[in-house]
Amino acid sequence: MTSIALFPLNIVLFPDGPLPLRIFETRYLDMVGRCLRGTQEFGVALIRHGSEVGPAETCEVGTSAMITDFDQLPDGMLGLSCVGRRRFRLVSTSVANDGLNIACVEWLEPEPQVPVPARHAELAELVKTVLPQLGEVYDGIDMRLDDASWVGHRLAEILPIHAREKQSLLEMDDPIQRLDALAPLALPGRPPAPRPA
């Protein structure tokens, strides 16, 4: 098990997904400093109850984030560019003296790399078409359109669905099962493809 700083948010972060943040609270500025000095990851978990600035109860499964770039914003806040890394399960949480949430986590096994099945080829095409239209957070992203896990994670993060639905998709361990769940959401009106026997 590993101890990491925990950032409760009202969004779901997926592995390899972009996470732009605006930081102003002292506890998180200190966390950023520690991360940058030690190339350390911090955890992101969806808030179940509470708020981003106050006490918050989060979902058990989250994703670690790595800071890739930062800059001072005109309003004085610190702008961060982060990317999702590994999924984890919360074992316990505590609050440090400075108010920072600390989580003891166990890392979940990386998903197997499996190709996108033919019945979901349209989903990979949709990702290929839509991502370049979504602005700079996806600029220069390495498109892994033959990787079912990568395609599923990108679709789950960009579709306009409720955060709880995104959380359920994050918690799935089977990339093909995730694509099966995403297909009717991403391609409404299309009859579900028959699953192979």
**All domains of the chain, ordered by start, with CATH?**
2-107 (2.30.130.40), 118-186 (1.10.4060)
Residue with tokens 């992101």: 44
Burial call 178-190: b when 16+ CB within 10 Å, e when fewer: bbbbbbeebeeee
| Dihedral pair phi/psi, residue 8, rounded to 5° | -70, 130
Side chain identity, residue 185:
L
Tens digit of pLDDT at every position of the chain (197 positions):
899 999 999 999 999 999 999 888 878 888 888 888 876 899 999 999 977 777 788 999 999 999 998 888 888 888 999 999 999 999 999 988 888 889 999 999 999 999 999 999 999 999 999 999 998 889 878 899 999 999 999 999 999 999 999 999 999 999 999 999 999 999 887 655 555 44
What is the Cα 104 distance to its own chain's centre?
Answer: 18
Rg of the chain (C-alpha set): 17
Residues 6+ apart with CB under 8 A from 109: 173
Burial grade of 136 (CB within 10 A; 0-12, 13-18, 19 or more): exposed
